[in-house]
Structure 1
Amino acid sequence: MTESRTQQKAQGAPPLPEALRVGVADSHTHLDMQEPSVEEALAAAASVGVETLVQVGCDLERSRWAAETAAAHSAVHAAVALHPNEAPRAAARGELDASLTEIEKLAALPQVLAVGETGLDYFRTGEDGIGSQQYSFRSHIAIAKRQGRALVIHDREAHADVLRILDEEGAPDRTVFHCFSGDAEMAQLCAAKGWFMSFAGNVTFKNAQPLRDALAVAPPELVLVETDAPFLTPAPYRGRPNAPYLVPVTLRAMAETKGMSEDDLAEHVAANTARAFGY
């Protein structure tokens, strides 16, 4: 464990926030990377009005875990995929196509409502990994369309290529930009396409004004909220472990940015998430 992770654990989990009056969903979380048991995480989330979770797989093993967990818990839905950073690793092992075949088998399961997180990540992958990332992304788009599933996109420092490939391949009817990282111009472009934009705890960070500008122009009927837990813990708890029960902290900050009441935004988010994932 790194020193920073040790410091985070030493600070402990943030306290439970005041419960939402209108229940919502955490549209993107990683329960398999969090300290509490699934049952404990679900109970804490439910106690503050976070009624539904989308558990997201990042490789074949974690995608299988997501499907199994969703099958066992009615409040959990699964998304399955090879993360963009996993694609070059699978390619190097000669396993990319075989892994994609297995992802499609998982995507066909009834408890799996989305294919993701897939997309492009040019922050952690060098030039030699771009080809396999783009191949994997195109393959996941095709899987989502064949299986009638939502597509959940991871886009880090790759906006232009993500948008280009979506146009070239044809985006699925339900497309979600997880942890939206674009600016106001990109938000307007996504809105014109009818794509959902999911905002995480980093929208609360002091240096995230471009994200807040994007949120401000995003139509309420296309906005989702997520934790991406255990990552991206919202202020004032940045640096401490994130979890689905902290969704209310982010949602309240989002409501302030949009000039909406907490209840009004929560009603939009709840309906949007159900529409995006088809539950």
Structure 2
Amino acid sequence: MLQEKRIGFIGAGAMSEAIIAGLLQTKQVEPKQIFLTNRSDEQRLQDLINQYGLSAKATEIKQIASADIVVLATKPKDVPEAMRYWSKKLCSGQLLISIAAGIEIAYLESFLSTEVAIVRAMPNTSSAVGYSATAMCHGRFASKQDVECALQIFRSIGAVWTVDESLMDAVTGLSGSGPAYIYYVVEALEAAGIQAGLEKQVARELTLQTFFGAAQMLMQSGKEASQLRQEVTSPNGTTMAGLAELNRHETQKVFQQAVLKATERSAEMGKELNKVGT
């Protein structure tokens, strides 16, 4: 479905690069189908062109403006400026995919004078290694084909789910910010291993393999996390001692609050930008 689609990226940051790399590695598109621009860093654009073998015309404004699919990959705070400029160049028949956190479809539509199909998505940074957890929703003008194109794009960098737009802030709080929570725990476990006497590299490798193995157990066994936890927790054993300390500090509640706070912030960001207006 993407074989004949021309895809333009507004913003040339890490997420754009991850998607470009995913599309090319999975052979969904060829380099000549990809175009990109950013606000100021010309060297960054040239580096991406060289690295991925893109066309010499890849950064031409007219090429991006006329692309079948346009990916809005700027920081949320830069969306108003980007939309004020690009909205005048987009037209009915194109698909606009936004990966800017907290930005609602209605807000994007407020800049447009034509019926442009819009998909709002929230990938995460694991897209860089092909393991993103992405959720997406679509606007009123998006066809089944538009949705399928977006699904194909995000499958190239990991797994993707469709949700109602009202849940996108929750997605941002959970899986969008989720890798940082995992890294935070990894930091703590590595540090604890070192404090217990392990060499730094051994502590790191044991921690990473433990996370990988636990994830595989969850995915392959089909069991709930609570059941697996109970199965590994022997009465008066070492795991029970460790979990007792976590429970004493209400660690589960802390993580729940972290996700809810990130969810709230995502919603706030959208409201703040909406006040800026078009």
Specify the TM-score bucket, using the shorter chain as the normaliser: 0.3 to 0.5
Report the TM-score, using the length of structure 1 for normalisation: 0.32
Structure with the greater alpha carbon radius of gyration: 2
Whichever structure has more helix as a proportion of its residues is 2
